[in-house]
A = this chain, B = another copy of it.
């Protein structure tokens, strides 16, 4: 398998058979780990970073979880390839801009990836479609244990795992989900939700993490604190908060339907019409239109199976994926044409909205 084959293979996030829930798109956990015998990447000289890369690469590729996986030094990848890895949520923007010694190992099914020489020597990440913290925690915990047998982690009996940034110290875990919250956005409640979530010690970010915007009404919510609690405790606390937000989103949907269903149906119908017939579609507008289609599928306006189509398009309509499909770099206006062409084809196959089913 080479990188082309990787991109030609849908990840679980794009897989139509993966289970799809109405609000939680993706569950993700990442652990930050560092080598005991070398300075953190930010303090390393190039030779030390390369040494860390070799040590980590050898250990990670030998894991059973990475059997038939792929590994790359960032230097080997072109801009488009790096962008596509970001769009699949496999690597961070930081890693994609990484210096010599930065790289990654990705499992064959693209559910597990280990970034090397990002902010820490190792950033281990698992991601799965749906609201599945137990499954993801079991998987990443097993991998971490195996890796600890191969690598001497920087660890303090008092502080726990040592990390480049003190906010990650201790468990060095970040558990997060991508939530699709269109009704909270439409009804203008997101600001209130963000404030409440922050007060509970959780962070809210956009689709592509820190500093990105919440296009498509997709928000990433994760724990902020890593110290003084067990991993299980952190996940349990986060899960409680997430359940409340899911509840609020579902209530907001019902309220909108009660107060002004026609206005919501109009938004959803127009989104379908534009996606099926538009000729120029930017990635930002596309995300917002797809968001309305996903909401329509949740409300029974489209068949349930269309949720998976939307989730795949969330990724395939990103700029990198659009260019990959066109076999080369394209300027933005050309991308908007190509994206609209792809969407016209996809939406010709999507059944027309049926509003009666959602109407009460």
Contact = CB atoms under 8 A, between A and B. Distances in A.
Nearest to A281: B266
A265 to B, nearest CB: 4
Interface in A309-360: 333, 337, 340, 344, 348, 352-353, 355
A263 interface: yes
Copy total for this chain: 2
The DSSP consensus for interface residues of chain A is: helix
B266 A270 contact: no
Interface of A: 262-263, 265-266, 268-270, 272-280, 333, 337, 340, 344, 348, 352-353, 355
A274 B270 contact: yes
B270 A353 contact: no
B278 A270 contact: yes
Contacts of A272: 273, 277
13 contacts: A262-B280, A262-B337, A266-B278, A266-B279, A266-B340, A269-B274, A269-B277, A269-B278, A270-B277, A270-B278, A273-B274, A274-B274, A279-B355
Nearest to A272: B277
Nearest to A353: B277
Contact of A265 (B269, B274, B279, B348): B279
A56 B230 CA distance: 96
Nearest to A269: B277
Contacts of A268: 279
A157 B344 CA distance: 68
A210 to B, nearest CB: 33
A262 B277 contact: no
A55 B274 CA distance: 57
Contacts of A280: 262-263, 266
A269 B262 contact: no
Contacts of A276: 273, 277
Nearest to A276: B273
A262 B276 CA distance: 15
A313 to B, nearest CB: 16
A278 B262 CA distance: 10
A273 B275 CA distance: 8
Contacts of A348: 352
Contacts of A277: 269-270, 272-273, 276, 352-353
Contacts of A265: 279
Nearest to A267: B279
Contacts of A263: 279-280
Contacts of A340: 266
A270 B269 contact: no
Most chain B C-beta atoms within 10 Å of own C-beta, residue among A273, A280, A337, A348: A273
A268 B266 CA distance: 19
A360 to B, nearest CB: 15
